Structures are given as C-alpha cells and as structure tokens.
C-alpha cells in the first residue's frame, strides 16, 4: 500500500506543475492590473512604477521561476487588493467550500442509497420507474439554472429563504439543494444497478431461504458488495462538487474558494488566484487518493491489483 501511495504521489506531481503553469499564464491574459488599481488619469510613469513595484515588468519566464521558488518555500505572494498573504486568503475561504461540498455529498449519498435500494427491490416496478424518472431529471438540470429559479421562487417570490450569505441555517438550504440534485440523480442510478446485480446473487437467495427480510438482506448482505462502484462514483462527484461550486458560490455569495477565484479573476489579483487554484488542485489530488484507498479496502477483489499498481 505504501508503494502504491508513493507512485500515486509521484504520478500526480506533473499534473500539479501543469496546473500551476497554466493558471500562471492564463491569469496574465486577463490584462494589466494597473488598469484597475490606478486612476483613469494615471500617467505612463505611474503605470510603469506600479508595474515595476509589482514585479510585472520582468520577463514572463523570470516571473514564473520566482513563483515556483515561492511555492517551494510555501510563499504564494501577497494580494494586490489587500496586501494580505494570498495563501492565508485561500486557506480562510477553502473550509466554506469543503463544508458545502461535504454536507451536500453526505445528504446525496444517504438519499441515493435509500431510493436506490428501494427501487432495486422490485425492478421495473412502480417505485423503480418513478425513481428512474426523478433521478434522470435531477441529473440533467443545470446547477446555475436551478440556482436562479430557486432564488426567484423561494427568496424573491415567497420570501422564505435568503438570497445570499451564510448567516443562519436557512442560508444553507438553496446552495445545498442546488448542488444536491445532480449527484443524487447519478448515485441513484448507480446504487440501483449495483443492488439489482447484488440481489440476484446466490448468497442473497440463501439468506432469503433462511427467513431474512428485505431490510436485513439489503443492509447486512447486498449493500456492502454494491457500495464499491457507488463509492468510486461518489468520489468523482465530490471532486466535481468542489470544482462546480465556483458558479453556485458566486450566485449565492457563498464565501468559499470558488467565489474567491472569480473575485480574483475580475480584480486581476494574480497571487490569490494562483494560491486558490493550487490549493484546490492539491485537495482534489488528496481526495482521489483517499477514494482509491477506500475502494481497495472495501472491495477485496481489486485490492491486490490496486496495491501493485
């Protein structure tokens, strides 16, 4: 297992470098920060002084080399807006994104397991057809459209929920509901398919012949074997939630890493943008390793192949 971990870490080093280089180069395509941080009547000398002070007058490769050196020293630079450490701003925003993504994913998994198992007990029955329709519809609705409609109905028209912010438990409802539907819809289909396959196995028939009811058959026998594919998909969906939270956080004013990225792009705050993207990339890398290890521990059939990989 340690060999596998070492190989996974080494294999992920190159993608992280590519992400750093890509963000570094693309961020500078947004324009010169002097256009935002200096008055409209600023002279060319004032622009030149600002650019030199920020180190933006040097060749791009020199700037990139300095940035890589700072990354190795865990120095990500300072915000152009506030002068605060870029790493501190990213680390302060990231927990809000993790809380939103984790809460959404836990709820999606719980609901999907309940609905998927219920549908699998009687394939092609009424429950199965209803759950399939609901899950496919949920997986197909775009997040941004659902967020806008949710704000229009529940915040503006009915006045039940706030439009933005994180004050009070009500502020969590719309962001979570917006992010919840797609992973719920996908996981219901995965759980349902895996459970149908597991419930047709001989050991399930043996358990039923011994008098085990539906609930015991599902919870004590079939669910463990059906959990492996659902875990893999849930991990991928969690990664997607961290990435997809950018749009939802912006719409709802959620103070997470996604909103910080958007604000940094609009304000050409290169150091903060680079720190936020790198932190997100590292978090996704760690999450993928945890998912792989969990899959190997849960399913003994793939454990040897995973460990030797």
Q: Could you report the per-residue pLDDT of 214-230, keeping only the tens digit for each?
A: 666 666 656 666 676 77
Alpha helices in 122-213 (DSSP H): 126-140, 143-150, 170-199, 202-209
The pLDDT confidence band at residue 306, using thresholds 50, 70 and 90, is very low
Which two three-digit tokens encode residue 201? 């196995």
Tell me phi and psi for residue 187, to 5 degrees: -70, -35
The pLDDT confidence band at residue 307, using thresholds 50, 70 and 90, is very low
To the question of pTM greater than 0.85 for the whole model, the response is no
Q: How far apart are CA 49 and CA 203, in angstroms?
A: 76
Q: How far apart are CA 307 and CA 309, in angstroms?
A: 6
Q: How far apart are CA 154 and CA 307, in angstroms?
A: 49
Q: How far apart are CA 209 and CA 216, in angstroms?
A: 13
pLDDT digits (tens, 9 = 90+) for 68-77: 888 888 888 8
Mean pLDDT score across all residues of the chain = 79
The yes-or-no verdict on residue 258 having pLDDT over 70 is yes
In this prediction, what percent of the chain has a pLDDT beyond 70?
Answer: 82
Cβ atoms of residues 25 and 1 within 8 Å: no
Three-class SS state of 233: helix
Cβ atoms of residues 52 and 95 within 8 Å: no
- Listed range (67-81, 91-105, 140-154) with the worst mean pLDDT: 67-81
The yes-or-no verdict on residue 158 having pLDDT over 70 is yes
Alpha helices in the chain (DSSP H): 2-11, 13-27, 34-37, 44-53, 60-72, 86-121, 126-140, 143-150, 170-199, 202-209, 214-217, 223-252, 257-266, 270-298, 303-308
Helix (H) or strand (E) holding 237, with range, is helix 223-252
For residue 299, the cross-strand partners are none
Rounded to an integer, the average pLDDT of 91-114 is 88
Q: How many residues does the chain have?
A: 309
Higher pLDDT, 211 or 285: 285
The pLDDT score that the predictor gives to residue 21 is 84
The pLDDT score that the predictor gives to residue 49 is 83
Q: Where are the domains of the chain?
A: 94-263+294-299
Q: How far apart are CA 186 and CA 196, in angstroms?
A: 16
The yes-or-no verdict on residue 132 having pLDDT over 80 is yes
Structural fold of domain 94-263+294-299: MetI-like fold (1.10.3720)
DSSP 300: T
The yes-or-no verdict on residue 123 having pLDDT over 50 is yes
């Amino acid at each position: 297992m340690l060999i596998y971990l070492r190989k996974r870490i080494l294999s992920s080093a190159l993608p992280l470098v590519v992400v750093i280089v890509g963000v570094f180069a693309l961020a500078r395509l947004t324009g010169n920060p002097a256009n935002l941080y200096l008055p409209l009547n600023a002279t060319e000398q004032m622009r030149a002084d600002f650019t030199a002070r920020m180190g933006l007058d040097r060749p791009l490769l020199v700037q990139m080399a300095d940035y890589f050196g700072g990354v190795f020293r865990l120095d990500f630079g300072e915000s152009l807006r506030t002068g605060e450490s870029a790493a501190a701003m990213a680390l302060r925003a990231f927990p809000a994104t993790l809380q939103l993504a984790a809460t959404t994913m836990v709820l999606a998994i719980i609901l999907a397991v309940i609905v998927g198992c219920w549908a699998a007990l009687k394939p092609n029955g009424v429950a199965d057809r209803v759950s399939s329709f609901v899950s496919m519809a949920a997986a197909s609705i775009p997040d941004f459209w659902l967020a806008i409609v949710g704000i229009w109905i529940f915040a503006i028209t009915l006045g039940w929920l706030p439009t933005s912010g994180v004050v009070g438990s009500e502020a969590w409802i719309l962001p979570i509901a917006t992010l919840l539907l797609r992973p719920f819809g996908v996981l219901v289909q995965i759980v349902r398919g895996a459970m149908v396959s597991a419930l047709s196995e001989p050991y399930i028939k043996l358990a039923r012949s011994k008098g085990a009811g539906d609930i015991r058959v599902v919870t004590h026998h079939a669910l463990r074997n059906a959990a492996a594919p659902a875990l893999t998909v849930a991990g991928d969906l969690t990664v997607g939630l961290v990435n997809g939270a950018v749009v939802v956080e912006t719409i709802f004013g959620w103070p997470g890493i996604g909103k910080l990225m958007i604000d940094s792009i609009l304000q050409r705050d290169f150091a903060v943008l680079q720190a936020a993207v790198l932190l997100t990339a590292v978090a996704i890398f760690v999450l993928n390793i945890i998912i792989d290890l969990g899959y190997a521990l849960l399913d003994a059939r793939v454990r040897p192949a995973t460990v030797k990989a």
